[in-house]
Homo-oligomer: A and B are copies of this chain.
Amino acid sequence: MLKEERQNYILDKIREKNKVKSNELAIELNVSEDTIRRDLNQLSHNGLILKVHGGALSTHQKLYQYNESTIFNRENKIKLAKKAISLLKDGQVIIMSGGTTNLELSRLIPQNLKLTVYTYSLPIAMQLTEHPSIEVFIIGGKINKKALVTVGVNVIKILSKIKADICFLGTSGIDLNEGITEVGYEVSFVKRVMIASSDNVVSLVTSDKLNTTQRYPICDLNEIHKIITDLDPDDPKLHPYIKRGVEVL
C-alpha cells in the first residue's frame, strides 16, 4: 500500500468518525504504530487533522470541505488569481465562469471587499458563500456533472440580462489566430454570452494553455480586454499577445 493511499484512508476515516486511534489504524492498515504516528504528524503538519495523544481528530466543522490536493498546478493558479484580485473594487458586479483557477480566485478575495458575483459553477458558488460581504447568485439550470456547472437555454437567458463590470473567464485554450476556444460544447455557448454581458473581459490563462486551441470557438482575441497568466507580464511568450493589443497582467 502506498503512503499517500494510507493517508487518504486515514483522512476518510476521520471524516466519517471524527477521530482515529493510532493503535487501531496500525492494525487496520497493517503497519507499525510508528508509521501511523508519522502519517498523523504529517497530516497534522499540513493542517488537515489535529494530532492528539493516542490518535487524531478532525479539524473542520464545515459540511463541505474543499480538497486542495486535487488541483493541478495550484501554485501557478494562486499566483494568477492574486493578480486578478487586484482588479476588484467595492461595489462591482462580477461574472465568474467555472474552473479551478476561478475557484482559487474566489478563495482569495479579501474579506472586506463588497461585491456581487454571478456564477453558474456549483463549487465556486459554494466557495463564495464563505465570504462575508459578497452577494452570491447562482444561475440555475441543468447541471453538467463533469464540469459542475449549469448549462442550457435558461442559463443563457439569465446571463444575457446581466450587466457586469468584469467577467473572469477561465480559459481552456488561447491562440493568436483562433482566439479563445473551449473544450465543452454546452459551456461554449454560456461563455459567449457572459462575454457579451460584461464591460471588461478578463481571460485567466495558466501558461500551459497558451497557444493551444480546443474544439469550440468562443471569441476573437480582440474581444477580450485583459489576459492574466502565471507568468511575468514581460515574459517573451506573452509578447505576441501584447503586440495584438491585449493588456497582459
Main SS class of interface, A: mixed
Q: How many residues of A contact B (CB 8 A)?
A: 58
Of B62, B72, B129, B150, the residue contacting A138 (CB under 8 A) is B150
CB-based nearest B residue for A59: B70
Question: Cβ of A136 and Cβ of B143 under 8 Å apart?
Answer: yes
CB distance from A133 to the nearest CB of B (A): 11
Contact of A140 among B15, B60, B137 (CB under 8 A): B137
Alpha-carbon separation in the docked complex, A130 to B122 (Å): 13
A5 CB → nearest B CB, Å: 6
Is B142 in contact with A140, judged by CB distance below 8 angstroms?
no
Contact of A143 with B129 at beta-carbon distance under 8 Å, contacts A16-B69, A64-B66 already known: yes
* Most interface-central of A16, A53, A137 (chain B CB within 10 A): A137
A interface residues with partner B (beta carbon < 8 Å): 2-5, 8, 14-19, 21, 47, 50, 52-55, 57-73, 100, 103, 122-123, 125-126, 128-130, 135-143, 145, 148, 150, 154, 158
